[in-house]
Amino acid sequence: MHRARNFVTPIVFLALLTGCSTVDEDPPGAPEPAAPSASPEVAIQAAKATTQRVELEIADVVPDRSRVRQQEKGTLFPCGEHQRQWAGGTNVVVTGEPDMDAVVAAVEQEWAGRSGWAIDKRQDTVGLATIDISTDDGEGYLVSRGTEARTVHIRSSSSCFAVPEVFFGGGAW
């Protein structure tokens, strides 16, 4: 028992010392994260408005749509030190079961020539066509078969934006 205590005591002491130390992971000369240029609420609303506008642009090209249901609120996710992105979504209800090959083709045709946008077509886990539309700064949209009958999901995330160091941002936005 005494021998075990002699072995554990230095380990605990070393762990306590290490927990108090700091390591600077940023290389010398690394740029600081961008400081927020507006209040977090203003930045969130701007990111949300842009993202929801693009969701509706994508929904407009979905074939056989009968109704568009855009989520009123979304969530904030971290995307860097003192940065967040707004994430939300829109469901497009179509007149029958969605033909995801036709949906992907229509979205690709509309978005392929847009400057600054990248397109990635792939298949989901059950083999249905999906398409990702994204920009270099993190703005992205996933168009896939919905979980409800006769729906196409558009899941979105805004570009990253700066928030104050003490900003929490939990809840729905």
pLDDT tens for 62-112 read 999 999 999 999 999 898 888 889 999 999 999 999 999 999 999 999 999
Q: What percent of the chain stands above pLDDT 90? A: 58
pLDDT tens for 140-173 read 999 999 999 899 999 999 999 888 776 666 655 5
Q: What is the pLDDT of residue 18?
A: 34
Q: At what angle do helices 100-111 and 40-60 cross, to 10 degrees?
A: 120
Residue 61: which region, alpha, beta or left (left: phi > 0; alpha: psi -120 to 50)? alpha
| CA distance linking residue 70 with residue 41, whole number of Å | 20
Query: Of 55, 44, 135, 125, which is closest to residue 90 (Cα–Cα)?
Result: 55
| CA distance linking residue 46 with residue 64, whole number of Å | 30
